[in-house]
Amino acid sequence: MSNIENVSRRNLLKGVVASGFLLGTSVAGWSPVSQAVAEPAAFMPNLFVAIAPSGQVTVVVSRSEMGTGIRTSLAMVLADELDADWKDVHVMQAQGDAKYGDQNTDGSKSVRLLLNTMREAGATARQMLLTVAAQRWNVAASACHTEAGAVVLGTNGKRLRYGELADAAARLPVPPAGSVHLKERAEWRYIGKSLPIVDLDDIVQGSAVYGIDVTLPGMKHASIERPPSYGGRVKSYDATEALKVPGVEHVVEIPATPLPSGFLPLGGVAVVATNTWAAMQGRQKLQVQWETGPNADYDTTGYRAALEATAKQPGKVARQNGDLDHALQTASKRISADYFVPHLAHAMMEPEASTATFADGVCTAWTATQNPQQARATVAQFLGIGQSAVTINITLLGGGFGRKSKPDYVAEAAFLARSVGAPVKVTWTREDDIAHDYYHAIAAQHLEGGLDTDGKAVAWLHRTVFPSIGSTFTADTVYGSAGELSQGVVDMPFAIPNVRCENGRAEAHVRIGWYRSVYNIPHAFAVGSFVDELAAAAGKDPTQFLLSLLGEPRKLDPRLLGSGYANYGASLDEYPIDIGRMRNVVLLLAAARSGWGSPLPARHGRGIAVHRSFLSYVAAVAHVAVATDGTVTVPRIDLAVDCGMVVHPDRVAAQFEGAAVMGLGNTLFSSVTFKQGTAEQSNFGDYQVARIDATPETHVYVVRSDAPPGGVGEPGVPPVSAAICNAIFSAVGRRVRALPVDPGELKAA
């Protein structure tokens, strides 16, 4: 890693002994939100590890915990190279600070980005401790080794605990980056093991601290009425009745942000009270007149029709191989299909919540954010102060799924804290969350394919039309970005000689944002479904057809993809599109383990899909049952996964189990529609998500791999929709081309 410096200061870390909340503390850049105790450290050779004289090892985790187990996994990596005793390891959450590098916990990349950093951070500390011990014993360093929190001399049994060496180690120069010895894989003691997550006890006891749980002395609670449509603003308001509600103390207007609003708040009127309930009650008594703004006519029924019409017309070409038009014209069989995916809301269980103080020009926030540095920048921008005057402390996140990478709610709390001169917690209601999300993009797609006389695919046209996430940040963005088109469009992996991928124009009328696996959701649904349609047209078994369509195991020639292929920010040398992993590893594994081809009862079926996203390969087989009234149930999902090397097998499996459920919910239940600029759904009564009664028996097979780590949080979601819909076709012979599945279309004749 670059920039290792010895930041040990014996006194610097005093005061980090945190019991409950430490207010206004920014010592060493750790978030004072847990109730656990970090002892004053004697030795801190870099940003990520500190060792106390007692032997306590503090690992600083710079990525946000929203359920992936990252606080545990990164600590395991560092503890492994340090040869720490896991019992001594204590995790602290970094604050939002550029010194930690990329902290945006998004894009399924925490392990990928930090594996080597954490290994090197641990190994550096270990080497320094070992050097001190060798000096103390007056022997060569090579005569010593480390084990479970101690340096041991040869075989004579002499040992010095790390805590005993910490003081002296702090006086050594830090070895230069890249110079320390890293373990061989066979020597790893924690990487690859499924240790209980570090927050497990707190979670089951109800003492884990999320953003919504932060409490400060004298804190007020706020509930905010926001514009009914995107770009609306307050014309006038009457707070008289609201202020009569017992407990209500202030009514404050929050200024609207000109469109596109980016990460900044939408504006509105806040009711600030002594408790959350009073704030909500007061808000109901507000009389607000709105200027409706430019999106007050947004209607998804009409918008969908417009997207679908656009998808019928040629668009901007994003990838082109061979001569598609000729191949389609001369194909022995030609088919086409149109697919639709609606807006989705993240609806993470913990709604947006943030707490802030503001005093003497300085703002301190406590919040559940995936994107701490952006939160810092957004608060600074909204308050018109410098970033150095903003401190972002990060709690646990009660789910994120991409919503919590947008810190509008953090800026709201900061603004209100300054306005009322007291600490303020902003708590969004579920209705606020559904009404003011950064929605997953609605999308229409048109695909055409051609088969030759042997049933081999020779032509592939994929046209996708969706509002870009870029529209949330940059005015007049009407086409998808290269990164968005790299999520399941231009990275089409099949061995088809004539290909064209196009993107049509679409304007956004709401905030569009990242939602777990992002544009892979519509694209993997359409691509995975259309492949199944081609297989049916060719009269072939879908798995056999997919195997031949993928072709020979090989690394996809990047020149086929065009110049815009983003590859999730990774190099294609290190992370190629490896058809062998897709075909011979995950596809064949999923087919074999799921019982592909074995008999099923009437109106049951299996469907298969395979997709690479976030540098990982996943094949899904869904077993579906369609009742005579059209109700779809999914008794079983099998997911075969190649995500490269694995730090924590159980947490990886858990992410894929969860992805199966979320993918199922996206497929069968979830949809946000708009009328007159306003979401028609408001809470879990009408925004349906998967519940336990819809949960399939899920089997996850993670293959052993020495490849560099790919993503884990998101890649399980994309292939699920196509697998389920292909299974529906197998069960009842009807194609589902629009999500969520409409059971009315699947009734027995």
- The DSSP element (H or E) to which 235 belongs, if any, is strand 233-238
**Is 398 or 710 the residue whose CB approaches other proteins more closely?**
398
CB atoms within 10 A of CB 186: 5
The encoded tokens of residue 303 equal 């918008």
Q: How far apart are CA 242 and CA 249, in angstroms?
A: 9
Q: Provide the minimum distance between the beta carbon of 400 and other proteins in the complex, in angstroms, as a whole number.
A: 8
Residues binding other proteins (CB under 8 A): 65-69, 194, 196-197, 199-210, 212-213, 215, 221, 246-247, 275-278, 281, 347-351, 396-401, 427, 429-431, 650, 654-655, 657-662, 683-685, 689-693, 695, 697-698
Q: Provide the minimum distance between the beta carbon of 200 and other proteins in the complex, in angstroms, as a whole number.
A: 6
Q: Provide the minimum distance between the beta carbon of 280 and other proteins in the complex, in angstroms, as a whole number.
A: 8
- The DSSP element (H or E) to which 221 belongs, if any, is strand 220-225
**Is 202 or 299 the residue whose CB approaches other proteins more closely?**
202
Q: Provide the minimum distance between the beta carbon of 605 and other proteins in the complex, in angstroms, as a whole number.
A: 22
**Is 291 or 431 the residue whose CB approaches other proteins more closely?**
431
Q: Residues 451, 457: contact at Cβ < 8 Å? A: yes
Q: How far apart are CA 570 and CA 566, in angstroms?
A: 8
Q: Residues 397, 69: contact at Cβ < 8 Å? A: no
- Angle of the 542-550 helix axis to the 520-538 helix axis, nearest 10: 110
Report the C-alpha dihedral over residues 179, 181, 185, 188, rounded to 10 degrees: -120
Q: Provide the minimum distance between the beta carbon of 736 and other proteins in the complex, in angstroms, as a whole number.
A: 21
Q: Provide the minimum distance between the beta carbon of 224 and other proteins in the complex, in angstroms, as a whole number.
A: 15
**Is 544 or 688 the residue whose CB approaches other proteins more closely?**
688
Q: Show contacts of 128-137: CB within 8 Å, 24+ apart.
A: 128/43, 128/45, 128/169, 128/172, 128/174, 128/175, 129/43, 129/51, 129/162, 129/165, 129/166, 129/169, 131/169, 131/172, 132/165, 132/168, 132/169, 132/172, 133/160, 133/165, 135/168, 136/160, 136/165, 136/168
- The DSSP element (H or E) to which 547 belongs, if any, is helix 542-550
Q: Provide the minimum distance between the beta carbon of 659 and other proteins in the complex, in angstroms, as a whole number.
A: 7
Q: Provide the minimum distance between the beta carbon of 29 and other proteins in the complex, in angstroms, as a whole number.
A: 24
**Is 187 or 277 the residue whose CB approaches other proteins more closely?**
277
Q: Classify residue 332 by its DSSP letter.
A: S
Q: How far apart are CA 396 and CA 378, in angstroms?
A: 20
- The strand pairing partners of 512, in sequence order, are 439
**Is 217 or 384 the residue whose CB approaches other proteins more closely?**
217
**Is 86 or 729 the residue whose CB approaches other proteins more closely?**
86
Q: Residues 518, 489: contact at Cβ < 8 Å? A: no
The encoded tokens of residue 630 equal 């059209």
**Helix/strand/coil (H/E/C) assignment for every residue in 586-636:** HHHHHHHHHCCCCCCCCCEEEEEEEEEECCEEEEEEEEEEECCCCCEEEEE
Q: Provide the minimum distance between the beta carbon of 219 and other proteins in the complex, in angstroms, as a whole number.
A: 9
**Is 207 or 329 the residue whose CB approaches other proteins more closely?**
207
**Is 476 or 693 the residue whose CB approaches other proteins more closely?**
693
**Is 40 or 400 the residue whose CB approaches other proteins more closely?**
400
